[in-house]
A and B are shown apart, each in its own frame.
Chain A
Amino acid sequence: MRYIEPHAHMVSRVTDDYERMALAGCEVVCEPAFWAGFDRSAAEGFFDYFSQLTAHEPKRAAKFGIKHFCWLCINSKEAEDVKLAEEVIALVPLFLERPNVLGIGEIGLNKNSRNEMRVLEMQVELAAARDQLILVHTPHLEDKLKGTRLILDVLKNDRRIKPERVIIDHVEEHTVEMVLNSGMWAGMTLYPETKCTPSRAIDILELYGNERLWLNSACDWGISDPLAVPKTAVEMKRRGHLATAIEKVIFENPKMFLGQSEHFAATLRS
């Protein structure tokens, strides 16, 4: 079984996880820029982080035959400091031409504040101006419904943004329909307690079909499982889904979306 892990924070995972993922059939891992668990004190910290995502992590992944791609941004948890956010956003273009960069992400909202909205809008502007793919983080728990609506409004209000080039991640049963109806892609995150479970994700696939939907683990420094995607594939098999249908969700769908990135397409061609 081969699969693409479209959302994993590998900087926070040990190298053993790369080995386990490779053994489970992972061919590609995509890593959005995220919150490290603490607030970085200056833009220089982000410069080093972007360097880690674009230079160091690909080498770590390559040791296990896994291709590593990344997304760049300032995440919503660090967006209350708008001045810092502006400095970080100014750094992003310095890295966009690196061969493993997919686009701008994971941008979004956390507590749905005005400053978070401003920073989201700035990054959408950057993505639109540079014709970049967008990966969106939707808020946790009680904030997800409101945040998803606010985010969709921002994206829909910019006519330069093509919905098929946007993936709205961490959807659940109360947000998946509005995302799919917008023409954007929807990501289901298999993360303990705060997001989807394998069985619920498969329920969503069975209710909404398997177009413009993908699975991811979003494994990070919290309690999370880098093998959540292949484990969900096994559960799909237990439910009687055909191998071709499973491969569509865990490999072909991510490949289709990510293939819109010239860097991703070029790597697959080589």
Chain B
Amino acid sequence: MTREQVLDLYFLDARHKLIEIAAFLDRVERADGKDDFRIEAFRTALGKLAPADGHVRPTVSEGAGNHRAKDVLLAFSDHSIEPVEKAPGKGAVGAV
């Protein structure tokens, strides 16, 4: 697909999801209480989406790499290597 075709297919859905994220952050900050590890990890992961200097990423052919989804998943991941002594419950929470 061309970039225009990708935008034709996915722009509105991505726009909707971005607004949802923005609304979520507003909602968190309106609520009383302190941040916990989840929202701290979320803000770290958010930073993986755009470079700090604000420049638009060059194309893959210009050697930019193209791995935001992977970087976000890694930002939420447990990077330790040893098994834990005992499972702390059954569920996952989404961040460490």
Residues of A within 8 A of B (CB): 77, 80, 110-117, 139-146, 149-150, 172-174, 194, 199-200, 203, 238-240
A142 touching B81, Cβ below 8 Å: no
Please name all residues of chain B whose beta carbon is closer than 8 Å to the beta carbon of A117 when the two chains form the complex. Answer: 83
Closest residue of chain B to A176 (Cβ to Cβ) is B70
A174 touching B73, Cβ below 8 Å: yes
Tell me whether A174 and B70 are in contact in the complex, defined as CB-CB below 8 angstroms, given that A146-B81, A149-B81, A238-B9 are known contacts: yes
Residues of B within 8 A of A (CB): 1, 5, 9-10, 67, 69-70, 73-74, 76-81, 83-96
From A141, A144, A146, A200, contact of B93 by CB (8 A): A141
From A114, A115, A146, A172, contact of B78 by CB (8 A): A146
A145 touching B79, Cβ below 8 Å: yes
B84 touching A113, Cβ below 8 Å: yes
A146 touching B95, Cβ below 8 Å: no
Alpha-carbon gap, A80 to B67, bound state (A):
36
Dominant secondary structure of chain B at its interface with chain A? loop
B90 touching A141, Cβ below 8 Å: no
Tell me whether A239 and B1 are in contact in the complex, defined as CB-CB below 8 angstroms, given that A113-B83, A115-B86, A173-B70 are known contacts: yes
B83 touching A114, Cβ below 8 Å: yes
Please name all residues of chain A whose beta carbon is closer than 8 Å to the beta carbon of B74 when the two chains form the complex. Answer: 145, 174
Tell me whether A143 and B92 are in contact in the complex, defined as CB-CB below 8 angstroms, given that A173-B73, A199-B10 are known contacts: yes
From A116, A141, A149, contact of B76 by CB (8 A): A141
Alpha-carbon gap, A113 to B82, bound state (A):
9
Alpha-carbon gap, A148 to B64, bound state (A):
27
Please name all residues of chain A whose beta carbon is closer than 8 Å to the beta carbon of B81 when the two chains form the complex. Answer: 146, 149-150
- Of B78, B79, B95, most A-chain CB atoms within 10 Å: B78
A145 touching B86, Cβ below 8 Å: no
Q: List 18 A-B contacts (CB under 8 A).
A: A110-B87, A110-B90, A111-B89, A112-B78, A112-B84, A113-B87, A114-B83, A115-B86, A115-B87, A116-B83, A141-B92, A141-B94, A142-B76, A145-B74, A172-B69, A174-B70, A174-B73, A199-B10
Alpha-carbon gap, A265 to B62, bound state (A):
47
Please name all residues of chain B whose beta carbon is closer than 8 Å to the beta carbon of A111 when the two chains form the complex. Answer: 84, 87-90, 92
Known: A77-B90, A112-B83, A114-B86. 16 other contacts (CB 8 A): A80-B86, A111-B87, A114-B83, A139-B92, A141-B92, A142-B93, A143-B78, A145-B77, A146-B77, A146-B79, A149-B81, A172-B73, A174-B74, A200-B69, A203-B69, A239-B1
